[in-house]
Structure 1
Amino acid sequence: MTENDISSLDELVKNKELVILHADKGGAVVVMDWNCYDNEAHRQLGDARYYNKMPLDPTPVFSAQIRDFLDSAVDNGIITSQTLKHLTITDPARQSIYFLPKIHKDLLHPPGRPIVSDLQKSKQLEQANLLLNSSVYLETQFAQAEMKAANLSRDRTYLQMQLKQAEMTINDLTQKQSDLQVQLQTAQQDITQLNSKLQGKCCPVGWESLSPNCYYFATSSENWFNAQTRCKDLSSDLVVIKGAEEQEFIKNRKKRGWAYWIGLTDTEVENTWKWVDGSLCSSSSDGTV
């Protein structure tokens, strides 16, 4: 730009009879007669359907109410004193209104689109709207809350998946436990059957069996008492004959020339014979002692 161009623009800006604004649409720059612009502004502001003139500026009242609310937030531990200092606007800007010409509707006498400005320039600083910092703070808090909520939602989904997997694992383990219990019962039944089959067949070395008992035929005891003592040393006792089969079994295993002590005695009352288990001795019809 030449010096003449710059000088012309400077004079144009300083001309109080003109208004230079952006068009409402299209990005064009509009130079309007001040009176036309002022008439359009009064026309709109005079429409009681949309605008009412206030007797006083409500900004100081609003400012006091907001400060009381913020002080209460500090007292209740919601915000810190440092945050209070940041949110407090000590010299709030008064909002102003201006109108962007709608030249796409009327080129010569364009209606205006009302715009309310939140900021105004002072000589040394840009004064902020009363709620600007609070709005930015709340927007930040909401964004953080939304992020936490999203994280919690993801965590919830993950935990639900983990819970479902745990439930499946528990069900699987429960089924396995049930199967093992069946197998254990079967094994116990097999052991019981095997024990029944092996009953009387698992006597110690040197003993002989007649189900369900084991018998040891000793030849070294000199008297009945020594024989009983030796039996007890072997965790046993002298035999108590309870039937013909058992009596025949013992008789058949008696070695020639040897005698064996049995569990029959009259040590308590002479000629009153008792077995070592305390039962009385009596003859039976099958010839058993």
Structure 2
Amino acid sequence: PEFSLVKAMMMTMRRGLPENLSKKEKMALKQLKNDPNLVIKQADKGGGIVILNREDYMQESMRILGDNTTYRILNGNPIENFKKQFSELLNKGFENKVINKDELDYLFVKSPRMAVFYYLPKIHKRLENPPGRPIISGIGSLTSNISQYVDFFLQQFVTKTPSYVYKHHGHQ
């Protein structure tokens, strides 16, 4: 519900903005987006956009996922087993008054999605065949809500860590 509201507000605000692309430019972007031989990703640093040959993108993905110290092939989908264990853990937290009913309901994702792998090209390292920074997107996954929950409580400690660097809005 909140996301829909934000999306509606953004669409309303966007309508009032002047167009900054010509019709030709919009058509060119649409063609690139719909080309099955291309992958379009945000650059790892600098906020740029990178257009990659799909074959090269897949090759780098397989190189990253081929690292057996970090990734391994599973024999099946472990979600149901994880869901059961996670539910038991949350219920123990509720029974021991570590979390309340609202938190219990929020933290347990009833129909979780499988986390998704992709990578961001590190064009600051190399422009041709750039290495990739692996990302596992857990949006909608079993641990997505508890990640936000834990993050909320840890934020107060982040600024106190020696490695914390303050980023002023508009600067990276």
TM-score, normalised by the number of residues in structure 1: 0.43
Within 1, Cα distance between the matches of 2:50 and 2:24? 21
Q: Does residue 1:70 correspond to 2:93, yes or no?
A: no
Q: Which amino acid counterpart does residue 57 of structure 1 have in structure 2?
A: N
Q: Does residue 1:34 correspond to 2:23, yes or no?
A: no
Q: CA 1:139–1:98 in 2, change beyond 3 Å: closer, same or farther?
A: closer
Partner of 1:133: 145
Q: CA 1:35–1:72 in 2, change beyond 3 Å: closer, same or farther?
A: same
Question: What secondary structure sits across from 2:50 in the alignment?
Answer: strand
Cα distance, 1:106 vs structure 2: 2.5
Cα distance, 1:137 vs structure 2: 3.2
Q: CA 1:25–1:67 in 2, change beyond 3 Å: closer, same or farther?
A: same
Question: What secondary structure sits across from 2:89 in the alignment?
Answer: helix
Q: Which amino acid counterpart does residue 64 of structure 1 have in structure 2?
A: K
Q: CA 1:138–1:117 in 2, change beyond 3 Å: closer, same or farther?
A: closer
| C-alpha distance after superposition, 1:8-60 (max 9, x if no partner) | 11111011100111222222211111111111111221232332111112222
Q: CA 1:143–1:107 in 2, change beyond 3 Å: closer, same or farther?
A: closer
Q: Which amino acid counterpart does residue 138 of structure 2 have in structure 1?
A: D
Within 2, Cα distance between the matches of 1:48 and 1:73? 34
Cα distance, 1:138 vs structure 2: 4.1
Partner of 2:116: 96
Q: 2:133 aligns with which of 110, 113, 117?
A: 113
Q: Which amino acid counterpart does residue 122 of structure 2 have in structure 1?
A: K
Aligned residues: 137
Question: What secondary structure sits across from 1:93 in the alignment?
Answer: coil
| C-alpha distance after superposition, 1:110-144 (max 9, x if no partner) | 1111111122xxxxxxxx23223223334555679
Q: Does residue 1:57 correspond to 2:77, yes or no?
A: yes
Q: Which amino acid counterpart does residue 136 of structure 1 have in structure 2?
A: Q
Q: 2:106 aligns with which of 86, 103, 117?
A: 86
Matches within 5 A, 1:1-289: 1-119=21-139, 128-140=140-152
Cα distance, 1:74 vs structure 2: 2.7
Larger radius of gyration: 1
Unaligned runs of 5+ in 1: 120-127, 147-289
Question: What secondary structure sits across from 1:86 in the alignment?
Answer: helix
Question: What secondary structure sits across from 2:71 in the alignment?
Answer: coil
Compare relative contact order (CA 8 Å, sep 6+) and give the higher one, 1 or 2: 2
Q: Which amino acid counterpart does residue 32 of structure 1 have in structure 2?
A: L
Instruction: Give the alignment's Cα RMSD to 1 decimal.
Output: 2.3
Q: Which amino acid counterpart does residue 51 of structure 1 have in structure 2?
A: Y
Unaligned runs of 5+ in 2: 1-20, 158-172
TM-score, normalised by the number of residues in structure 2: 0.69
Identity of aligned residues (%): 34
Within 1, Cα distance between the matches of 2:28 and 2:155? 49
Q: Which amino acid counterpart does residue 133 of structure 1 have in structure 2?
A: N
